[in-house]
Amino acid sequence: MQNPPPSQAASGTLSLSADPVIPRTVATAVASKKKEHMPALDGLRGLAAISVVISHLPTKTPFWEKMNFGECGVFLFFVLSGFLMTHLHLQQPINAVNVRRFCVARVARIVPLYYAIVLVAFAVSMLTQVDFHYRMDLADLVRLLAFAGSVDVFWSVGPEFQFYGFFLLLWWIPSLRGRSRTIALALLGVLVVASYVASPYLPGILFVSKLHIFLGGVGIALLRNWWGARAQAQPHVIALLQLLACAAVLVMLLPYPHMLLPLFPEADVARFSVWYYVDLPRVLLAGLVVLAFSYRSAASDALLGNGLVGELGRASFSIYLLHRPVMDLMDKLGLFSRLDPWVSGIGCILVVVLLSSLVNRLWETPARVWITARLGAAPKHAAPARA
């Protein structure tokens, strides 16, 4: 997402080295999971970021304009988040030490880059009259710093960060026993159903409007752990899953602006992309993609686990937040209007990737490592407090 478990979850690399405490019946599966590496998911995150960039290019052919690049990319981000939180943390005991590490890792992953770009955008807004996508006023700044803002692409960071807090609740429930667990699960079920029923009518900046998407990732992680505890995934099964996953990505990208399973009236989901985010079949498709590429194969390593795509994954958050300023600058210079759409589009993507990789190396990763090193380790005198 570099150090022991907490910073690995936060830094962008999917190397799983946490030490979960679980029953002996799945000890063998966990022994292999401790050193498991999922390079294809890094690559998947990187390509999801690039798909958002493509969706925002101002000059595209009509066909590319209709494709669901942006929605597909954000959808995969949310499912990946639910999957990784569950796979990395849910089987660990919930105690003060692990919760501290989790919270520090999440803050270190999101806050340094996000706050830096928001504050720079606010300063530019206050000091100049330049019109750009991140232009904001003081009220926008306050909402964005509270992870409840809706300025351009910043809108999706709020639900992501809010879900981290909700995940602590999911993590706590398995530690309950007897009737308490039953009641907690029942209340959780009511919340999930209610949030989905209300999702088309809720502000998109609230995580509950996307809760079913995050939980799709949670469910896939639980399914993978359950399956891994009982059987070793065979190469031919993995190959079939990954073929189906490629088909699923194509279906998610198709220019079909309606729900695949129309559970809501057409008029209620007519607002921008609402029909996409509330569609349960698309949750299943995204879940299939994440599940399939969580397994390693020669094909997945070549397609998504290579060095170039892996770099996209490591810089994916920078790509997501920095592509708009790059496009604004290119637009001011008239490059999109003067150049062929393919030339300007590919050139824009290259500049975004190079800038994002540089920012990731010079700011995002050093800040994450510094915060994790300073705040992530529990005090030596503090014994783990069992929940």
Give the residue numbers spanning the domain of 345: 5-375
Q: Give residue-wise pLDDT tens across range 3-55.
A: 333 333 333 334 333 333 333 344 444 444 445 778 999 999 999 999 999 99
Q: Answer whether residue 385 is part of any domain.
A: no
Alpha-carbon distance of 124 to 313, in angstroms, equals 29
Q: Answer whether residue 383 is part of any domain.
A: no
Q: Residue 382's pLDDT is what?
A: 45
Q: Residue 291's pLDDT is what?
A: 96
Q: Residue 230's pLDDT is what?
A: 73
Q: Give residue-wise pLDDT tens across range 106-128.
A: 999 999 999 999 999 999 999 99
Q: Residue 383's pLDDT is what?
A: 41
The answer to whether the CB of 20 falls within 8 A of the CB of 171 is no
**Mean per-residue pLDDT for 189-217?**
96
Q: Give residue-wise pLDDT tens across range 287-338.
A: 999 999 999 999 999 999 999 999 999 999 999 999 999 999 999 999 999 9
What does the DSSP 8-state code read for residue 147? T
Those residues with Cβ within 8 angstroms of residue 189's Cβ, 6 or more apart along the chain or in another chain: none
Q: Answer whether residue 112 is part of any domain.
A: yes
Look at residue 119 and give its three-state secondary structure.
Answer: helix
Distances from the Cα of 320 to the Cα of 34, 141, 145, angstroms: 30, 19, 17
Alpha-carbon distance of 8 to 17, in angstroms, equals 8
Q: Answer whether residue 349 is part of any domain.
A: yes
Q: Answer whether residue 386 is part of any domain.
A: no
The pLDDT confidence band at residue 377, using thresholds 50, 70 and 90, is low
Q: Answer whether residue 26 is part of any domain.
A: yes
Q: Answer whether residue 87 is part of any domain.
A: yes
- Domains held by the chain: number: 1
